[in-house]
Amino acid sequence: MDYNATTPVHPEVLEALLPFYREAFGNPSSIHWAGRNVKGALEEAREKVALLVGCDPAEVVFTSCGTEADNMAIKGVAAALRGNGNHIITTGVEHPAVLNTCLYLEHEGFEITRLDVDRHGMLDPERLEAAITERTILISVMHANNETGTIFPVGEIGEIAARRRVRFHCDAVQAVGRIPVDCRADTIHLLSLSGHKLYAPKGIGALVVRKGVKLHPLLHGGSQERNRRGGTENVAGIVALGTACELARRAMVEEAPRLRELRDRLETGIRERIPGVTLNGHPEQRLPNTANLSFSGTTADSLLMNLDLAGIAASSGAACSSGTLRHSHVLGAMGTEPVAAGGSIRFSLGRESAAADVEYLLDVLPGIVARLRGNK
Ligand SMILES: *Cc1c(COP(=O)(O)O)cnc(C)c1O
């Protein structure tokens, strides 16, 4: 129940990528037969990614992960548009890949506005527009939050960005493959995605850079990726990402309602069995697979430890920050007090989640919570 942290490689994705570690090992930049075949596979993958997120294939730049895509977008625009201004608008609930990139730029002399969210983790587009100044060069706002699943109004944000002539970067790592994502319809200039969040392997991601968007590269080198990212391409990873995007595009129509039903069963089941439970995140505008719940009178680490002993993998939020016992910056920005919130746990479902898994959780969790509350 931790699919927002990572996902297993889809069997069809694994089948598709294996030949590129065996016979099809050519360098896509080679002009001989060995390279040409591989180059074709690369361009096919680019088309599949583009089809899922609503952009042209030429606008897809493959990266090593979602973090690199976020860094490339934000630092790349900051460097390219430094002459126009130094102001960047983001939110307080972004993934560390965006938060810490902005923090770095702040130390380099950029001015960062971090917008608050309401108690549902929702962003107000009017407040975003009010934050735009003459010096604003970039808005970086995520599509769906990794901890709560709250979905931001990216269409409205894109409209504001277009009207005010500011670049819009969207970290859509949690959204791609789960809900419809459309760069054209939502006028998103730059969009980050990551393979391992949608059943492709770790170590592959992409940044969509729409035509006309000026961007300095992060990696200087050869002319790969139309001079936007040097380095010989991760061919197997790229083929895997393309395959995963195609599978997601086909499966989403049925998979999203299936996961929503399972997730709702998990949520109502927990509320029926356990008192003192609150939902963190927007009740409706939320990823279909995510439920973030607080259990009063408990702590997240003791809940997670006991769930782990029962064989259940869940998370206290960002996988990247678990192990540290800090209160989640996302829940903090929503105004939940660490103590009042109690232990906050994120359950995130995916492809292999079944009704029996939810029933098992509903069997064991009430006992765990009662025991922890009794110990206090
Ligand atoms: C996982 C995640 C990232 C980072 O992607 P990696 O491929 O793990 O570097 C960025 N943003 C969000 C919202 C994420 O959930």
CB 17 within 8 A of CB 213: no
Distance between CA atoms of residues 176 and 154, nearest Å: 13
Q: Which of 9, 94, 146 to mutate to test the pocket of ligand 1 (most atoms within 8 A of CB)?
A: 146
Distance between CA atoms of residues 6 and 362, nearest Å: 23
66 CB less than 6 Å from ligand 1? Answer: yes
In Å, how far are 63, 85, 103, 197, 348 from 227, measured between CA atoms? 13, 25, 27, 27, 37
pLDDT at 334: 87
Q: Which of 63, 179, 197, 322 to mutate to test the pocket of ligand 1 (most atoms within 8 A of CB)?
A: 197
190 CB less than 6 Å from ligand 1? Answer: no
End-to-end CA distance of the chain: 27
How is 120-181 classified by DSSP, letter by letter?
A: TS---HHHHHHH--TTEEEEE--SB-TTT-BBP-HHHHHHHHHHTT-EEEEE-TTTBTTB--
pLDDT at 319: 47
| Structural domains in the chain plus CATH codes | 11-248 (3.40.640.10), 252-372 (3.90.1150.10)
CB 137 within 8 A of CB 167: yes
Q: Please report the atom of ligand 1 found closest to the CA of residue 172.
A: 13
pLDDT at 376: 52
pLDDT at 331: 87
Q: What is the pLDDT along the chain (376 residues), one digit of tens a residue?
A: 999 999 999 999 999 999 999 999 999 999 999 999 899 999 999 999 999 999 999 999 999 999 999 999 999 999 999 999 999 999 999 999 999 999 999 999 999 999 999 999 999 999 999 999 999 999 999 999 999 999 999 999 999 999 999 999 999 999 999 999 999 999 999 999 999 999 999 999 999 999 999 999 999 999 999 999 999 999 999 999 999 999 999 999 999 999 999 999 999 999 999 999 999 999 999 999 999 999 999 999 999 999 999 999 999 865 444 444 456 888 888 887 665 567 999 999 999 999 999 999 999 999 999 999 996 5
The DSSP letter of residue 322 is B
Paired residues of 2 in beta bridges: 348
49 CB less than 6 Å from ligand 1? Answer: no
Q: Ligand 1 center to residue 74 CA distance, Å?
A: 15
pLDDT at 341: 62
Distance between CA atoms of residues 283 and 207, nearest Å: 30
Question: Distance of alpha carbon 179 from its chain centroid, rounded?
Answer: 12
170 CB less than 6 Å from ligand 1? Answer: no
In 3-state terms the chain splits into helix, strand, coil percentages (rounded to 5) of 45, 15, 40
194 CB less than 6 Å from ligand 1? Answer: yes
Question: Annotated active-site positions, please?
Answer: 320
